[in-house]
Structure 1
Amino acid sequence: MSRKKKTVGMLIKIILVLLVGGLGFMSWWTWATKPYSSTGVSEKITISPGTTATQLAEELQQRHLIRSAWMFKYLARSLQANFKLYAGDYQLAPQMTPNEMISRLIKGATPMANNLVTIPEGYSTEQIIDLLVQKGIGSKAELEKVVEEDEFPYEFLKNAPPGIHRLEGFLFPSTYAIDTKTSPHAALNLFLQQFAKELTPEVQKNLDTMKLTVSQWVTLGSLVEKEAKMESDRPLIASVFMNRLKIKQPLQSCATIQFLLGTPKSKLYDKDLQIPSPYNTYLHPGLPPGPIANPGHASLQAALHPAQTDLLYFVAKSDGYHAFAKTYAEHLKNVKLYQ
Structure 2
Amino acid sequence: MSRKKNTVGILKWIILLSLVGGFGLVSWWSWAIQPYSNASNSMKITIAPGTTAAQLAEELEQHQLIRSAWMFKLLARLRNEEFRLYVGDYQLAPMMSPDEMINRLIKGAAMMDTQRVTIPEGYTTDQIIDLLVQKGISSKQDLTKVIMEDTFPYSFLNDAPKGIHRLEGYLFPDTYEISKNSTPHAVIDIFLKQFEKELTSDEKTQLDKMKLSVSQWVTLASLVEKEAVKESDRPLIASVIINRLKINQPLQIDATIQFLLETPKPKLYNKDLQIPSPYNTYLHTGLTPGPIANPGHASLQAALYPDQTEFLYYVAKKDGYHAFAKTYLEHLKNVKLYQ
TM surpasses 0.5: yes
Is residue 159 of structure 2 the alignment partner of residue 156 of structure 1?
Answer: yes
Is residue 126 of structure 2 the alignment partner of residue 123 of structure 1?
Answer: no
AA at the equivalent of 1:140: K
Distance across 1 between alignment mates of 2:132 and 2:189: 13
Map of 1:275 onto structure 2? 272
Seen in structure 2, the aligned counterparts of structure 1 residues 323 and 24 have a Cα distance that, compared at 3 Å, is farther
Q: Given that residues 44 and 89 in structure 1 are in contact (C-alpha distance below 8 angstroms), is that contact kept between their aligned partners in structure 2?
A: yes
Q: Given that residues 36 and 65 in structure 1 are in contact (C-alpha distance below 8 angstroms), is that contact kept between their aligned partners in structure 2?
A: yes
Q: Given that residues 239 and 307 in structure 2 are in contact (C-alpha distance below 8 angstroms), is that contact kept between their aligned partners in structure 1?
A: yes
Seen in structure 2, the aligned counterparts of structure 1 residues 84 and 49 have a Cα distance that, compared at 3 Å, is closer
1:156 CA displacement = 1.9
Q: Deviations over 1:240-260 (max 9, x none)?
A: 112123334443435335545
Q: Given that residues 37 and 95 in structure 1 are in contact (C-alpha distance below 8 angstroms), is that contact kept between their aligned partners in structure 2?
A: yes
Distance across 1 between alignment mates of 2:165 and 2:327: 35
Q: Which runs of 5+ in 1 are unaligned?
A: none
Q: Deviations over 1:252-288 (max 9, x none)?
A: 43533554566668xx55x557634345546765444
Distance across 1 between alignment mates of 2:280 and 2:255: 9
Q: Given that residues 171 and 191 in structure 2 are in contact (C-alpha distance below 8 angstroms), is that contact kept between their aligned partners in structure 1?
A: yes
Seen in structure 2, the aligned counterparts of structure 1 residues 6 and 245 have a Cα distance that, compared at 3 Å, is closer
Map of 1:326 onto structure 2? 326
Distance across 1 between alignment mates of 2:113 and 2:67: 24
AA at the equivalent of 1:225: E
Distance across 1 between alignment mates of 2:125 and 2:13: 70
Map of 1:32 onto structure 2? 32
Distance across 2 between alignment mates of 1:284 and 1:249: 9
Map of 2:70 onto structure 1? 70
1:68 CA displacement = 1.5
Q: Given that residues 219 and 292 in structure 1 are in contact (C-alpha distance below 8 angstroms), is that contact kept between their aligned partners in structure 2?
A: yes
Distance across 1 between alignment mates of 2:23 and 2:114: 41
Q: Given that residues 224 and 299 in structure 1 are in contact (C-alpha distance below 8 angstroms), is that contact kept between their aligned partners in structure 2?
A: yes
Q: Deviations over 1:111-159 (max 9, x none)?
A: 77946655444221122112322454431244345556x365854234x
AA at the equivalent of 2:123: Y
Q: Given that residues 89 and 177 in structure 1 are in contact (C-alpha distance below 8 angstroms), is that contact kept between their aligned partners in structure 2?
A: no
Is residue 224 of structure 2 the alignment partner of residue 224 of structure 1?
Answer: yes
Q: Deviations over 1:173-216 (max 9, x none)?
A: 45667654554456446656776897899959957974x67655
Seen in structure 2, the aligned counterparts of structure 1 residues 95 and 241 have a Cα distance that, compared at 3 Å, is same
Q: Given that residues 251 and 281 in structure 1 are in contact (C-alpha distance below 8 angstroms), is that contact kept between their aligned partners in structure 2?
A: yes
Distance across 2 between alignment mates of 1:301 and 1:246: 20
1:222 CA displacement = 1.0
1:92 CA displacement = 1.8
- In the TM superposition, 1:13-162 aligns within 5 A as 13-37=13-37, 40-46=40-46, 53-80=53-80, 84=84, 89-102=89-102, 105=105, 109=109, 114=114, 119-144=119-144, 147=147, 150=149, 152=151, 155-158=158-161, 160=162, 162=163
Distance across 1 between alignment mates of 2:186 and 2:72: 30
SS at match of 1:67: coil
Distance across 2 between alignment mates of 1:258 and 1:246: 24
Q: Given that residues 86 and 176 in structure 1 are in contact (C-alpha distance below 8 angstroms), is that contact kept between their aligned partners in structure 2?
A: no
Moved more, 120-129 or 4-13: 4-13
Seen in structure 2, the aligned counterparts of structure 1 residues 186 and 280 have a Cα distance that, compared at 3 Å, is same
Seen in structure 2, the aligned counterparts of structure 1 residues 133 and 263 have a Cα distance that, compared at 3 Å, is same
SS at match of 1:66: coil
SS at match of 1:156: coil
Q: Which runs of 5+ in 2 are unaligned?
A: none
Seen in structure 2, the aligned counterparts of structure 1 residues 307 and 113 have a Cα distance that, compared at 3 Å, is farther
Distance across 2 between alignment mates of 1:336 and 1:167: 39
AA at the equivalent of 1:156: D
SS at match of 2:91: strand
Distance across 2 between alignment mates of 1:102 and 1:331: 60
Seen in structure 2, the aligned counterparts of structure 1 residues 170 and 61 have a Cα distance that, compared at 3 Å, is closer
Q: Given that residues 113 and 180 in structure 2 are in contact (C-alpha distance below 8 angstroms), is that contact kept between their aligned partners in structure 1?
A: no
Distance across 2 between alignment mates of 1:333 and 1:106: 61
Q: Given that residues 52 and 85 in structure 1 are in contact (C-alpha distance below 8 angstroms), is that contact kept between their aligned partners in structure 2?
A: no
Percent of aligned pairs with the same residue? 66
Q: Given that residues 135 and 180 in structure 1 are in contact (C-alpha distance below 8 angstroms), is that contact kept between their aligned partners in structure 2?
A: no
Q: Given that residues 207 and 217 in structure 1 are in contact (C-alpha distance below 8 angstroms), is that contact kept between their aligned partners in structure 2?
A: no
Seen in structure 2, the aligned counterparts of structure 1 residues 33 and 227 have a Cα distance that, compared at 3 Å, is farther
Map of 1:310 onto structure 2? 310
Q: Given that residues 132 and 138 in structure 2 are in contact (C-alpha distance below 8 angstroms), is that contact kept between their aligned partners in structure 1?
A: yes
TM-score w.r.t. length of structure 2: 0.69
Distance across 2 between alignment mates of 1:326 and 1:218: 25
Distance across 1 between alignment mates of 2:122 and 2:165: 14
